[in-house]
Amino acid sequence: MNDTPTVPTADTVVSQTLLFYVNGKKIEELNPDPEWTLLWYLRKKLGLVGSKLGCGEGGCGACTVMLSKLVDGQVRHFSVNACLSPVVTLHGTAVTTVEALGSAPDRLHPIQERLAKAHGSQCGFCTPGFVMSAYALLRSQPTLPSLEQLEDALVGNLCRCTGYRPILEGLRTLTSDGQASCGRLNCCRDKNKNNNNCCLVNGENNGAPGDLEMVEELFDVTSCAAYDPTQEIIFPPELQLNPDFARVNLSFRGPRVQFQQVTRLEDLLQVKHESPNAKIIIGNTEIGVEVRMKDQLYTHLVSVSGVQEMEQMEVQEDGVRIGAAVTLSTVQEKLKNIVSTLPAYKTRVLAAILEMLKWFAGKQIRNVACLGGNIMTSSPISDLNPLLLASCSLLHLHSVTGGVRTRVMDGSFFTGYRKCDVTPSEVLVAVTVPFTAQNEYFQGFKQARRRDDDIAIANAGLRVSLEDDVVTSVTLAFGGVAPKTVLASVTMQLMKGRKWNDELLQDVTSSLVEELEVTPSAPGGMTAYRTTLLPSFFFKFYLHVRHELSKTLPTIPPLAPYQQEVLRPLTRPAYSATHLYEKVPADQPAMDPIGRPLVHASARQQVTGEATYVDDVPQYSNELFGAFVLSTQAKAQIVSLDAEEALALPGVHAVVSAKDLPGKRNITGMVQDEEVFASTSVQYVGQPVCLVVADDEHTARCAAKLVKVQYKVDGKPIITLEEAIAAKSYLHEMSLHSGDVAAAHAAADHTLEGEVHVGGQEHFYMEPNTHLAVPGECNSMTVFSCTQSPSDAQSRIASALGVPANQVTVRVKRLGGGFGGKETRSILASAPAAVAANVTGRPVRVVLERAEDMLMTGTRHPFFAKWRVSFNKQGVLQAVEMDLYSNAGFSLDLSYAVMDRALTSMDNAYYCANTRATGHVCRTNLPSNTAFRGFGTPQAMFVREDIMARVAAFLDLDAVQVREVNMYKDGDVTPYGEKLENCNMRRCWQDVKEQALYYNRKALVDEFNSTHVYQKRGIAIIPTKYGVAFGIKFLSQGGALVMVYKDGSVLLTHGGIEMGQGLHTKMIQVASRVLEIPAERIHISETATDKIPNMSATAASMSSDLYGEAVLRACIKLRDHLAPYRKQNPDGGWNNWVMNAYLDRVQLSATGFYAPPNMYPYDYETQAGRPFFYHSFGAAASEVQVDCLTGDFTVLRTDIVMDLGKSLNPAVDIGQVEGGFLQGQGLFTLEELRYTPEGSLLTRGPGTYKMPGIQDIPCELNVTLLRESGNPKAVYSSKAIGEPPLFLAASVYHAIREAITAARCDPRLLQCGELGPAETRGTNHNNDTDSKAATPGPSLNTEEAASARLFRLDSPATAERIRMACIDRITKMVRIPQPGTYKPWDVTV
C-alpha cells in the first residue's frame, strides 16, 4: 500500500473511502455505514474496549477519546465523546484511545500512573474517560495547564464512586498549580514555594486536630514519572504533510442513511437545493442525541468540514463575524483574545457570550458543537440564543435560489418550538455579533439544576441603551419560559423613555411576571420558579447598569456594598483537601499491608482500559443480541402482542416472551410477586414485555421498535405517595415503640408537628446493566453478569430455565458500580438473556441503554413523613412520633427490609426514651424501588434531623446545641432496645467541631450575613450512627477459598463482588498479613457460583467483615499446614515451604466460613431483638453560600470525622467516605427524579438527571479517620465503610437551610428595599406553616421571625426549592395555582 497517496481535491473527486488513524494505525474503510459511531467502531470493529458506553448522549464522558487534526497548518488535539461522533466525519483525523497511552504489565503514562497511585479509580468504568480528557488537555497546551483548566477539562466526565477528590489530587500534579498549598491558613507551602511537603506531611497542623502520628499523605507524587511531552504519539506524517487531506468530498450510503461531506459552499448550497431536508452536522451533538434517545431517523446527513466560509472568525468594523461551523471551543479561545484587546465597552455582548460558554456543556461537547447548530436547532432553552436575540445579531443565510440574505435575529426569528425563519434550502453561513456602544449595556444569565454542564432551566440576554439615565432602546430576551426564545415585548415598550431608577425596577418586575408567567402545566415543570427567575435576572441587570451609570453620572449614587455583591460573577475558591489517618505501629513489618494505603488491586488495569467488564468480553462467533420491548402503560391489560413485522426483519431469530416460560417458570421476584415477562397485564411503564433476539444490536433494536403491543388501560394508576396513602395501598405496615409516648407529650413544655418529603435517587452506576448468557452441555448455562448477588441471580435464572441451580454458573469479574441497584434488579435483564440463550441455543448478550436501565430498574425509595415531637425549654426531646411512608413501586422486592432498616435508624444519633415509629410500605405503579447505599437509613435519619432543626428553630437556639443535648452516649439504649457499646459518637462530634473551628466560623458566617443581603451563608454539623448488619440473620454469612500453587503464588476467591469499594484489595491485604507474603503474590480472578456457593449479596456494608474473617480463617488453616515446614527450615522462605508441603502431599487449599454471632432481627410483634452487630459513627460540618435570587449554592468547606475502627486500608476507606458523601450530597441537594402523572419517568439520562460533577464538590474537603478507635467484632478491629458516611452529606442540606433562614429573617430582603412593598398574588408555596405548635410555647421575638425560621424544606434542596424559600416580593408575586385545578407536567412520587 502506498503510504503517501495522491490527495484528491474537492474540485475533482468524490471519495467513497474513509481514511483516518487510530493509535497510529492507518484505517481505510470502504463505504462505511453513516450510522456507525466512533465508539461502536472502536469496540466492535477494532476490539478497542477501553472506551466505555456509559450513556450514549455525551453526558458522562466514559467514551472520551482524543481527536487530532490539522487546523490552519497546526495540529490541534481535543477531546470528544466517541458515542456521539459519527465515524464517517473522521476523514483525515487521528484518533487516540486509552490503549495507546500505556499498559498495565509494562509502562503507564504519567497521567495513568498518577490516577492509579492517587487512588483516583474505584469501579474504574469512568477512568479511561478521565484519562483521555486529561490527556487531550495536556496535548493541547504548550505549557502545563492550570488547575482551573484541568477542572474545566473534566467537567464533562462523571464519576459515581470517588467523589472526584483523588482524581483531582492525582492530576493536579501535572498542572502549573501542582505545588499549591493544602488550602489551610498559613500552609508552609505558602511560606516556601520550594517546599515539596505540605504542612500536613510535616506535622505543622495549622488548624487540623491531631499530632504527627495522624498526619500522612495517601500517595507520593515523587514516585511517579515526570511528564515528557516529547515522548507522545506523533501526528501521522501522511496527514501532516498533506494539509488538504481532510478537504475531500465524501459520499457514503448505508442501509438507511446517506452521508456526504462537501468542502465548498457552492456544493453545499446545491445539496440543500436538491435535498432541502438534508441535515447539516458539525459535531452531531444534537442530532446524535435525537437519534439515540428520541428514535429520530435522518436519512441524509451533510458534513461541512472544510467549507472555509463557515469555519472562519474575524473582527469586522461593526462586530465579530463567526462562521456557523466554528466550534464553541474555538469561539471561546478567540473571544478571549478579542475581549482582552478591545475596549471593554465595545465587547459587552462578546463578554456575555464568553461567560455563558463557561457553563455550556462539557469540554468534549464544546470541542465539536458550533454556534450555527445552536441557532438552527432553535431550542427554547439554548444558552446562546437569548444573547444573540437580545444583541440583534445578524445571520448570513445563503441559498441557490435566494442568494445571500442577511437576517436580524429579532422577536420574529423563532416561529415556534424548534422552528425558525430559515427556509429548508437555506444555509446559515455566519453570524455577526455586534459591538456595543458606550451607552449600551448587556448581560447574560443562566440558571440550571447544576451549575456546570447542564441545560438551562431559564436564561436571559438583557440589553439596554441609555441617554444619560433614560432608556432609549431595550431588548429583553428569555429562554426556558415558552416553546421558543422570546422577547418581553410589552415590558420593553413600558421601559422606553423611562428613567433607570427603582420605580422602573418595580414596574419591570411586575410586568415580567405578568407578561411571561409560565403556565402551571407547561413542559419542564418548575413553573413558579421559572417565572421567578425572570425578574431576578433583571434585578441583577438593573444593579449592574446602575453601578456603571454611577461612575459617570453624579445624579446616580453608588451602590451600597450589599448591592455590589450581586455584581460579582460566579466563582469557586481554589480547591483544596486534606486527609488524616493513623500511621501503622512503628514495629509493624514493612511487608504487612494492613493499615497502609495500598493502591486498588485493579488500578493499573482500570487506568489503561484493560480492566474487563461484561460488555468487554469478546464476542462469541455465534452470539446474538437481545433488545427489550418495554411497556408504555403503568396499569393495563395486554390485549395483543404482534411480533410478525419484527420477525420478518433479516437477522432476527426470535421474540422471546411469557409464552416461552410455561407454568411457574415466568414467576420471579423476592416473594414471587413478579414476572420475567409481562404475561397478561403490565404494572408499570418500563416493564419487560418481550426480548427481540437478532444477529447484532442495531438489528435487534430496530426490530424491537416494530413489535406492536396493544393495551387496555385498567383504571387510574397510583403513582405518588399521596395517592397511595389516600387509597390505602400498602404492601406492609409495622410499628416500633418504646416508653410512654402519650404521657410524655402531655407533660412536655412544647410540641411541634410537621411533614417532610425525601426524594428518590437513581443509582446511575456508570456501567449499565449488561449480561451475557452462554448455553452449554447438559442444559447448563453460564452467565457473565454485572450483579451484586450471583447466588440470587443463579437461583432465579435456574427457576426461569426449569433446571437445578447446579446447572447455572454466574460469573462476575467486577462491576462498574452498583450501590444496591444491581442487588436484585439486575435479574430483569439477566434472566431474559438466559431464557433467550436457552430458546435459541446460542449465546445472547443484553446491554441496556442508559434510558432503559433507568426506566426499568427502580431507584432509592422516596419517603414521606409525618412527625410529632415534644421537648422541654432546653430542647431535650421528651417524645417522638413519626409515620414513614415509602414508595415501594409495584412489587415488594426489598422494600420491607428497607422500611425495617428505616425504623431501626430513625433515631440517628439522638436519645429519646419515648418513641413510636410506624412504617407504611406503599404499593404504586412504578418500577419496583430497591436497595440503595444506606438502605432506608438516610431517609429515616433525614426525618429525625428535620425534627432537630425545627425544634432548634422553634426555640431560637443554635441547632448544634439542640443536637448535643440529645446525643447518644455509651451505654444508652435505643428505641429498638439495643444498648450502645463503644459509642464514639460524641468523640466524632467533638473532633469535627474542633477541626472545623465551628464557633469561630459560625461567628464569621453571622458577620457575613449581616453585611450581605442577596448572598447568605450557613454552617451546620450533622452526626451519624449507622448500624451494621443484614436485616435478615441468614444473610450474615460469608465463605472464601484460598489456593496455593506450587510456585508459591496464591489464588483467592470469596463470595464478595468487587464494584469499586476495594473489597478485593482488602481481602488481599488480610491474606497477606496472615500468610506473611507480599500482597503482589496474591491474586483474585473473579467471583463465581461454582467456586463459592450460596453467597449473600455484596451489600449492607458487611462484605469486609464477612469475607475478611472468612479469608482470615482459610489462611490460618494454610498457615497451620505450612507451620511444620517453617519450623523445620526457618530460612527456607515461602516457596520452599510450599514446595516441601506439596511433596509431602499436604493440602494447599483451604476454605473459610464466618457467621457473626448474637444477631437477632427486630421482631415487631414482640418489640425485641438485636438487629445490629455494631455501629459506625461519624460527624460532618459543612459551610455553604447561597444566591438568594437564583437558588444557586456553593459548598465552601466540609470537615468529616469518621470512626472506622482500625482501617484496613486508609486510602480505600477515605475514598469511600468522600464518594459516599458526594453521593449523599446529590441525594439531599441535587438529584431529582421526575415522572409524568401517568407514571412515565422523564429523567432518563445525564441530560435530564443531574448528579454531582467535579465542580460540585466542597471547595475545601478535610477528612479525618477517628484515632485510637477499634472494633473487637470485625477483622483486625476494622469497621464497615460503604454506607455509613453517606448521610453526613445532610450537613450540606442543613447548612443550606441555615442560609435560607438567614435570608428569611433578614428584613432587608423581606422588605425588598429597591423592589418596593410586597404584593401577594398567589398562595404560599413554601409550606411555611407546616411546623405548627400544638401546645402553647414561649413567645418568640415576633410572629414573623418564628414563621421565617419554621419552614418546610423537602429534599433534595434544589436551586428551585432554595430560591422559592428565600421569600421576597418576587416570590410573593408569582401565582401558585391550587392542586387539582390543572394537570402538572411532572409529579413528586
Name which of 346, 333, 358, 362 is nearest 55 in CA terms.
362
Listed in order, strand segments (DSSP E) in 1063-1119 are: 1082-1083, 1087-1088
8 Å CB contact between 170 and 115? yes
Angle at 254 between CA 251 and CA 256, to 5 degrees: 120
The SS3 of residue 1352 is coil
Cell numbers linked to 996:
472545623
Name which of 1045, 1047, 1038, 1033 is nearest 1070 in CA terms.
1038
8 Å CB contact between 1058 and 1132? no
Burial class (CB in 10 A: 0-12, 13-18, 19+), 804: exposed
8 Å CB contact between 664 and 802? no
Whole-angstrom Cα Rg for the chain:
31
DSSP 774: E
Give the rounded distance of the alpha carbon of 1234 from its chain centre: 16
DSSP string of 1119-1184, one letter each residue: HHHHHHHHHH-TTS-HHHHHHHHHHTT---EEEEEE--SS-EEEETTTTEEE--SEEEEEEEEEEE
8 Å CB contact between 959 and 946? no
Q: Pairing between strand 419-420 and 319-323?
A: unpaired
CA distance 385 to 398: 20
Which residues have a Cβ under 8 Å from the Cβ of 132 and sit 6 or more positions away? 51, 64, 65, 66, 79, 96, 97, 98
Per DSSP, what are the bridge partners of residue 1187? 1015
CA distance 966 to 881: 16
Query: Which residues are marked as active site?
Result: 1283
Cell 452470539 -> residue = 623
With residue 472 as reference, give the H or E element that holds it.
strand 470-479
CA distance 274 to 278: 9
CA distance 1133 to 842: 49
Which residues have a Cβ under 8 Å from the Cβ of 571 and sit 6 or more positions away? none
CA distance 1299 to 1188: 9
Which residues have a Cβ under 8 Å from the Cβ of 888 and sit 6 or more positions away? 731, 861, 895, 921, 922, 923, 924, 928, 929
CA distance 1227 to 1357: 9
CA distance 1092 to 1152: 10
Phi-psi region of 933 (alpha: psi -120 to 50; beta: other; left: phi over 0): beta
CA distance 799 to 382: 51
With residue 1002 as reference, give the H or E element that holds it.
helix 998-1011
Phi-psi region of 210 (alpha: psi -120 to 50; beta: other; left: phi over 0): left
CA dihedral of residues 1071, 1075, 1080, 1082 (deg, nearest 10): -60
